[in-house]
Structure 1
Amino acid sequence: MDLLDGYKKAWDNQSEETNKVSKVDIYKMAHSKSSSIVKKIFIIGILELIFWATINIFFTGSSYGDIYEELHLNTIVTLSIYLHYLAIILFLVLFYKNYKSISISDNTKSLIAKILNTRKTVQYYVYFNLGYLILANIVVMCFVFSDLDGLIQYYNNHGINTSIANKTQLLVSLIVAMVFILSFMFLILWLFYKIVYGSLIKRLNKNYQELVKLDDNS
């Protein structure tokens, strides 16, 4: 049983006069926990930005960077990367504003509204990243598919035997590989968000429900 649950139990067993004091204690605890959760969301967002930057730097310096260069896709790939960075930074700004907006002087209804706003922002962030993962990769692969001759030439230049008889077979093989890889990446990212952000949102929802109950009993 955490401290907030202890306050709730004590509140339920107290007289009406002492309940007034307990309500203040419960509110302060819910406020403190909500502020802490939103701060964690902001910090995790920063760590995630660093993670994506590290991944992009790694791929840029690997053979994936070579194939993008030879297929003249550097511009579209770089644009995609920086758009992703920009979007994450904008969400980080929103996370930070959500954190700073939670004031100890907020009344119960105001804090409830800010919790709901934070929850909505996190949901949009998760939806954006999952959608961007799929969309950005599909756009890049469409450019790759449109230049199969260049791709075959890249394979030949690097001594890669595709064992593909014609372009149609190569295209089908690439599409199948893309669907498999994107599905795997989507699943990993979804599980990460489900575990990390999902647990934080669950705790935020718990605070929200307690505040609603507190407000109803006021």
Structure 2
Amino acid sequence: MDVLDNYKKAWENQPEESNKLSSVEIYKMAHSRSSSIVKWIFIIGILEFIFWTAINLTIPDSFYKVYEDLELMGFLNFFMVLHYVIIAIFLFLFYKNFRRVSLVDNTKNLINRILKIRKTVKYYVFYNLATVFLGSIILNIVMFSDNNKLMKVMNPDNLALDMQQVITITVISQIIALVIILVLLWLFYKLVYGILLRKLNKNYKELVKLTDN
């Protein structure tokens, strides 16, 4: 049982004339803890942004050669710029949520702010998973839309290969890789943001009970 639970239990057992004073203490505790949780959501978002940016910067140019040969670098660059812009918007919303939570001055406003924060985080997680899935699907559709060009890129020396089999293996391997990446990302978001959202949801429930009494 944490400190907030102790406050709540003591408050419920107090005489009616003391409840108002205790409810203020419970609100202050929930407010402080909610502000801390939202701050960590913002910090983790920043760290995640830095991590993926560092990964992209360390990828060797040779990795992109096949995309250059298939004339897909324009699509990739546009997609990456758009993605970074949207992520920056989410980070701004995380920071804005933190500032607003820090400044709220009553239980009703804090409850409404928590609801909006939960929605923002869920949209952020959904966006990242959907971006990986849809981006991979679109990229592969474009790649395999011209089999002749793809075969020339994958087999420039015209070796005696069953290119249809090679393409089939490539498709299957990319599907497996996509599934693995999505599962790992989902587990990461479930672990990190899921823990923070559960704590935030607990605060929300406590505040709702506070307003009902």
The question of a shared fold, defined as TM-score above 0.5 by the shorter chain, is answered with: yes
1:100 has 2:96 as partner? no
Gaps of 5+ in 2: none
Contact conserved, 1:56 with 1:81, CA < 8 A, in 2? no
Deviation of 1:36 (Å): 0.6
Gaps of 5+ in 1: none
User: Which structure 2 residues correspond to residues 134-173 of structure 1 after superposition, within 5 A?
Assistant: 134-157=133-156, 164-167=161-164, 169-173=165-169
Identity %: 51
Aligned counterpart, 1:196? 192
Which shifted more, 6-15 or 206-215?
6-15
Contact conserved, 2:104 with 2:110, CA < 8 A, in 1? no
Alpha-carbon separation, structure 2, partners of 1:105 and 1:121? 18
Deviation of 1:122 (Å): 0.4
Query: What is the total number of aligned residue pairs between the two structures?
Result: 213
Q: Pairwise CA RMSD of aligned residues? A: 1.9
Secondary structure at 1:102's aligned position in 2? helix
Specify the code of the residue in structure 2 equivalent to 1:165: D
Alpha-carbon separation, structure 1, partners of 2:86 and 2:22? 42
Aligned counterpart, 2:206? 210
User: Which structure 2 residues correspond to residues 1-150 of structure 1 after superposition, within 5 A?
Assistant: 1-59=1-59, 61-150=60-149
Alpha-carbon separation, structure 2, partners of 1:139 and 1:99? 35
TM-score (norm 1): 0.90
Specify the code of the residue in structure 2 equivalent to 1:196: V
TM-score (norm 2): 0.92
Summarize deviations over 1:10-59 as a string: whole Å, max 9, x none.
Answer: 11221112221110000000000001111110111111111221222233
Contact conserved, 2:151 with 2:163, CA < 8 A, in 1? no
